[in-house]
Amino acid sequence: MGVVGRIADALRGWTVWPMLWKEFIQLRRDRLTFAMMTGLPAAQLILFGYAIQLDVRNLPTVVLDESQSVESRALISTLANTDNFRIVASIHSRTEARAWIERGDARVALVIPPDYERRIRRGETGTAQLLIDAADPQSSSAALSGAQLAAQARGAALLQERLQLRPPVDIRVRPWYNPSQKSSTFIVPGIVGVLLTITMTLITSTAVVRERERGTLEQLIVTPIGRTSLILGKLIPFVLVGYIQMTVVLALGRLFFRVPVEGSLVLLYSLSLVFIIASLGIGMLISTIARTQGQAMQLSFFFLLPNILLSGYLFPRAAMPLPAQYLGTLLPLTYYLDILRGVLLKGIGIQYLWREFLTLSVFAAVLITISVRRFSKTLD
């Protein structure tokens, strides 16, 4: 009999209900798990939502303006307007600039030489210098692009002024789906996926291993309860836990980060089921490998790491080397992130997400089948 047939039998018969009843009582009494269900999502959301800023803004910048002219002040304000820089001080020497950067009080120093305005007025190129603390490539590239942007803007404005021309080319960028280009809009939907991954695998794996450690699994095995009922009884309550978590994160995300909900929540919740089941399957699989709760926890965290790095949660997968991209295709979270961002940010429907849905369904079916098979009703 197939897994689906066995599941139907367990639900139709009486065997799964006592298990469910027991699990819900235990869940209600287990304060730690309850805290994990609600507190953890909130803490993670606030932490990740505010702390993870992939877009580098407000780099502390000091300015050495030796030109002290209209043009130099225009350049400084153009630079400040890009939002990549935050002018923290005016300084008076290059030594001072070096000291600010070395202390870490400034990441960028703008040096405008005394002849800056003069050269522009003479029709030459006014040259300014930008010193960057490039130890962190992300902030240095933000500084670079900000500087280029400012130079171009300033240059174009001066050319227009000088030649009385309109710019021949103009690209108008319109950032769809996340118009204000905030990281949190991108990150918060991802947190739903990451949190579900961690709690689903962790709760499931430790819950099963705990029964083994305490000897209640041995007791259950000698009862007539079937393997499928036993596993279903353990998993179904956690599906509910998953949905509660998801709702908490989405509600808080909306409240604190104004994460949009463009698409259908019904669709999102329906598609989430296969992801939750796949994650529970992984937890189940871990529980058939781990002998102690400690081992189960370690394995769960071990599984979490590639999920955070390779799924596209923080870094776009397209930018990763090919092997990393292939590894990413093995993670359910990769597909779930597409679903989350697709529904929440783009408001797209099932016609664009059925591939992700099918892949996750295959993951769920395979993982549950393997873990039910491996979950032997004997102790040897």
CB-neighbour burial class of residue 27 (10 A; exposed 0-12, middle 13-18, buried 19+): middle
Q: Which stretch binds another protein (CB under 8 A): 108-116, 220-228, 292-300, 354-362?
A: 220-228
Q: Is 312 helix (H, G, I), strand (E, B) or coil?
A: coil
What letter represents residue 199's amino acid? Answer: T
Give the list of residues 6+ apart from residue 150 with CB closer than 8 angstroms, or none.
75, 78, 79, 81, 82
- Which one of 4, 5, 8, 17 is in contact with another protein (CB under 8 A)? 17
User: Which position has the token pair 């897994």?
Assistant: 3
Structure tokens that stand for 87 in this block: 């002018």
User: Which position has the token pair 């006592």?
Assistant: 18
Nearest approach, Cβ of residue 137 and another protein (Å): 51
Measure the CA–CA gap between 324 and 347, rounded to whole angstroms.
28
* Helix 31-51 with 16-29: angle, nearest 10 deg: 70
User: Residue 32 interacts with another protein (CB under 8 A)?
Assistant: no
Residues 221-280 within binding reach of another protein (CB under 8 A): 221-226
Nearest approach, Cβ of residue 379 and another protein (Å): 5
Nearest approach, Cβ of residue 6 and another protein (Å): 13
CA-to-CA separations, 205 to 215, 291, 296, in angstroms, rounded = 16, 10, 6
Nearest approach, Cβ of residue 25 and another protein (Å): 6
Nearest approach, Cβ of residue 32 and another protein (Å): 11
Q: How many CB atoms lie within 10 A of CB 184?
A: 22
Nearest approach, Cβ of residue 380 and another protein (Å): 5
Of 9 and 96, which has the nearer Cβ to another protein? 9
Quick note: the x/- pattern for another protein over 46-85, rule CB under 8 A, is ----------------------------------------
Sheet holding 129-132, edge to edge: 85-90, 59-65, 108-112, 129-132
Q: Which stretch binds another protein (CB under 8 A): 172-180, 198-206, 209-217, 267-275?
A: 209-217
Q: Which stretch binds another protein (CB under 8 A): 26-34, 141-149, 176-184, 248-256?
A: 26-34
Helix (H) or strand (E) holding 61: strand 59-65
What letter represents residue 314's amino acid? Answer: L
Of 107 and 212, which has the nearer Cβ to another protein? 212
- Which one of 2, 215, 316, 321 is in contact with another protein (CB under 8 A)? 215
Q: List residues near another protein by CB under 8 A.
A: 14-15, 17-19, 21-22, 25-26, 29-30, 214-216, 218-226, 377-380
